[in-house]
Structure 1
């Protein structure tokens, strides 16, 4: 009986030991997996949150981009007229600088809106409804198109001062209300450059 019991007991003991080993391995595995998952999450969080932070924007940023695009387009339209209608070399040079600065900003603003899933203003949007931002009306644009020489220079400078003042006001709103840092940086650049151009244009108006 003893010899028969002994192998049975040994087999039972081996089975019990094997079961215990499996249980311990499973527990250990769970612990490792949990730690690994936790570690992976901790590691991934900064990387995952970085794009979200870079793309962090609010309604003010969208308003700034959607308003500044047609605003810049009109300034470029006005600048293009100066190339053939202006008499003053200073006015022509200023018009060229305005176009050179604002055309790339339109592309940047459009890219932001696209990345945010927002609508990019269509080309040729009307001139009306933007009085508060310094936009010219359709009648004012016709007046500018129909003038030339010194009369154009005076009309262009007078209208562009108003136009720039509108852009500066929009940029100041973006700086105070926006959250998207690249847009706030652009707003700061617009305030600096266009304020300087306003001073330059007022000087040219005094000479005309």
Structure 2
């Protein structure tokens, strides 16, 4: 799940070494168990990815020039918020903070502050093209990251949610509006 690293990552304290007296774990972690690095990386990436996508999708109500795009964006925003309602409790169950550890990182599929500023600077068909392109990137990359979690993660609750997100992304990508031409 590489894709971003920053000097801030190096300043974060390392996880404490496992206790020598701890028994080996042979079963998948319980839902309240700490996250392994793959599970933690996935949920800590998916949460801000969805938050930023929601911020962009929210602009469609006022900036889009196409009723179809506004309707699509509203539905997808609801879906992304529903995923956030499942991701945030997963963060808590893993003992992870509900903070964006990827703040300021420019990485594939992440809607950035610059992207939001560009979206606020356009209206109509130009906004619609920008929105669909950015959200398409978000959906493709978040599906890829979630597929990685389903294969390499260890927590069953995280893997189930990741699999659900992969399935949702397939459906959502098929619903991307065509904004390549026509009125706008």
State the TM-score, normalized to the length of structure 1.
0.66
Please name the residue that 2:150 is paired with. 175
1:204 aligns with 2:183: no
Ranges in structure 1 where 5+ consecutive residues have no aligned partner: 1-49
Distance in 2, matches of 1:75 and 1:142, equals 13
1:184 aligns with 2:159: yes
Distance in 2, matches of 1:156 and 1:119, equals 29
Contact 1:64 1:170 in 2 (8 A): yes
Larger Rg: 1
Contact 1:86 1:92 in 2 (8 A): yes
Please name the residue that 1:75 is paired with. 53
Contact 1:158 1:205 in 2 (8 A): no
Distance in 2, matches of 1:206 and 1:196, equals 20
Contact 2:39 2:155 in 1 (8 A): yes
Distance in 1, matches of 2:111 and 2:44, equals 17
1:130 to partner: Cα distance: 4.2
Ranges in structure 2 where 5+ consecutive residues have no aligned partner: 1-26
Instruction: Report which of the two has the higher share of helix.
Output: 1
Distance in 1, matches of 2:170 and 2:120, equals 25
Deviation by residue 1:164-191 (Cα, 9 ceiling, x = unmatched): 1111111111111112222212212211
Contact 2:129 2:180 in 1 (8 A): no
Contact 2:147 2:162 in 1 (8 A): yes
Structure 1 residues 145 and 87, CA gap change in structure 2 (3 angstroms): same
Which of 54, 76, 101 does residue 98 from structure 1 map onto?
A: 76
1:70 to partner: Cα distance: 0.6
Q: RMSD of aligned C-alpha atoms?
A: 2.4
Distance in 2, matches of 1:186 and 1:115, equals 13
Contact 1:75 1:98 in 2 (8 A): no
**Number of residue pairs matched?**
155
Please name the residue that 1:53 is paired with. 30
Contact 2:36 2:154 in 1 (8 A): yes
Please name the residue that 2:117 is paired with. 142
State the TM-score, normalized to the length of structure 2.
0.74
Q: RCO higher in 1 or 2 (8 Å CA, sep ≥ 6)?
A: 2
Structure 1 residues 184 and 130, CA gap change in structure 2 (3 angstroms): farther
The secondary structure found in structure 1 opposite 2:132 is: helix
Contact 2:49 2:111 in 1 (8 A): no
